[in-house]
């Protein structure tokens, strides 16, 4: 496809949108401009290909398609069947999975599908079998009461939030925390690493129905073979949420003990992040859970999003190309180069480095909270997000950490030299930012002081760093 084809497609789309609501067209154009000009270091974000983006804007958006391939509750879904089957086929081949369910709208939806599938497989409950035929929003209070009575006190063991776990792994603010009695395993206070003996000890004591592995802010590999052995030792179902590192699994950077698919009973993921697809979710499993997983709609999901499944099929096809493995390898190389650059400049990193796509900076050494550091960096053209560190004294809102990742900048083509330059810019901002005070003169966890000249200088350097690596060079809107 020529460069003109992509430009023509996006220009034409914006013209059509502008004729109806010009403010939306302007916002879309502004978003592209903002992303082109910013050092995007959010570990959970990336840049989908033009083909993937275009696959979402079409007539599939107009279709209802409850059910599964060949078994729909609506007529006229033959083309939806084609794209869903293609997406599932690419997923199975890419990850070596027996079964793939590509309908989940997001990572939390994928996790909920997995949780309910495990419950249905493991727990004898007439109320659950009845509920599986309906959507959760349609369950009455009596239905929920019957479910809670029959399911009892089901237990989940997952990684703690401050150690890098995720909200959807059984924590109270999330529905998973209302479904399960949850307990967490953390990391070694001295190293920040998972202590597998401690995980095994917690599993023996707690006897969970589900042992969850996976993370959103743990900068190291996980040994899934050991985790499966722990799950088997207590009769637990082993579930892995690989949303953050799915691209590293797809690109064969994580293999053997560090590839979750051969070891887990069920694996969930998003399709964006390091996988570089559209925003969405997916579940992989063996044949023993396939039927339960395929009941995700209507139990958890509403109607599938066929236009997003089409984009998933495109992105998964891209991930099966040989160049994706090179891309995945460069993600890790860049993360390690970025970590090394920060360490040389005196930054404190959780676990002292990284094995994957993300780096977690403890900014307390700079006298800052994560919230202060996040905003100061944003003022300087560097997009990150604040994140808790193990045993974080500032909690989950203000935090003491900044999480950064390399999937997006690697997509743009930046390499080790640019990662070192990025480390210098990050260090400069954090080193020159000081904590502010509130109206009463007390120390603030949110307010900060950064010389605007420093922010402007760093922003210009960040823009200069990106100039040789244009974002979507095949797309010109002007």
Residues forming the active site: 64, 66, 241, 270, 273, 279
Give 355's contacts (C-beta < 8 A, 6+ positions apart): 219, 220, 221, 332
Give bridge partners of residue 435 from the DSSP assignment.
448
Task: Compute the C-alpha angle 225/338/329, nearest 5°.
Answer: 50
CA separation for the pair 374, 348 (Å, rounded): 16
Contact 155, 208 (CB under 8 A): yes
Which of 93, 90, 119 lies closest to 266 in space, CA to CA?
A: 119
Phi, psi of 100 (to 5 degrees): -135, 135
The number of angstroms, rounded, from the C-alpha of 88 to the middle of its chain's C-alpha atoms is 19
Dihedral sign, Cα of residue 429, residue 432, residue 433, residue 435: positive
CA separation for the pair 279, 312 (Å, rounded): 9
């Amino acid at each position: 496809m020529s460069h003109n084809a992509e430009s023509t497609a996006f220009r034409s789309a914006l013209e059509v949108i502008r004729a109806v609501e010009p403010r939306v067209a302007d916002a879309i154009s502004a978003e592209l401009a903002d992303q082109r000009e910013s050092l995007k270091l959010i570990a959970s974000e990336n840049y989908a290909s033009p083909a993937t983006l275009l696959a979402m804007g079409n007539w599939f958006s107009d279709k209802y398609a409850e059910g599964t391939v060949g078994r729909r509750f609506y007529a006229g879904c033959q083309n939806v069947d084609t794209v869903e089957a293609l997406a599932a086929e690419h997923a199975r081949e890419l990850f070596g999975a027996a079964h793939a369910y590509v309908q989940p709208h997001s990572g939390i939806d994928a996790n909920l599908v997995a949780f309910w599938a495990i419950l249905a497989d493991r727990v004898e409950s007439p109320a659950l079998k009845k509920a599986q035929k309906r959507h959760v929003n349609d369950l009455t209070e009596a239905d929920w009461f019957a479910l809670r009575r029959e399911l009892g006190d089901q237990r989940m063991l997952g990684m703690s939030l401050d150690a890098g776990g995720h909200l959807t792994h059984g924590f109270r603010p999330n529905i998973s925390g209302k479904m399960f009695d949850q307990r967490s395993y953390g990391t070694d206070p001295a190293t920040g690493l998972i202590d597998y003996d401690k995980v095994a000890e917690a599993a023996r004591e707690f006897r969970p129905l589900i042992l969850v592995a996976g993370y959103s802010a743990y900068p190291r590999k996980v040994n899934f073979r050991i985790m499966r052995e722990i799950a088997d030792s207590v009769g637990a179902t082993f579930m892995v949420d690989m949303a953050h590192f799915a691209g590293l699994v797809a690109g064969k950077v994580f293999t053997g003990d560090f590839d979750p698919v051969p070891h887990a009973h069920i694996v969930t993921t998003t399709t964006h992040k390091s996988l570089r697809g559209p925003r969405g979710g997916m579940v992989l499993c063996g044949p023993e859970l396939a039927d339960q997983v395929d009941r995700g709609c209507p139990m958890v999901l509403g109607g599938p999003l066929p236009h997003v499944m089409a984009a998933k099929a495109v992105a998964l096809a891209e991930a099966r190309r040989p160049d994706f493995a090179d891309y995945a390898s460069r993600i890790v190389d860049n993360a390690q180069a970025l970590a090394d650059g920060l360490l040389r400049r005196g930054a404190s990193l959780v676990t002292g480095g990284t094995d994957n796509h993300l780096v977690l900076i403890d900014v307390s050494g700079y006298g800052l909270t994560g919230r202060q550091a996040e905003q100061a960096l944003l003022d300087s053209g560097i997009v990150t997000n604040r994140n808790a560190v193990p045993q974080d004294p500032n909690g989950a809102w203000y935090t003491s950490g900044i999480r950064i990742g390399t999937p997006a900048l690697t997509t743009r083509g930046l390499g080790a030299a640019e990662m070192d330059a990025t480390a210098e810019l990050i260090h400069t901002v954090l080193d020159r930012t000081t904590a502010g005070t509130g109206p009463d003169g007390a120390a603030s966890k949110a307010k900060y002081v950064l010389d605007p000249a420093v922010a402007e200088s760093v922003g210009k350097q960040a823009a200069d760093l990106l100039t040789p690596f244009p974002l979507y060079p095949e797309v010109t809107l002007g």
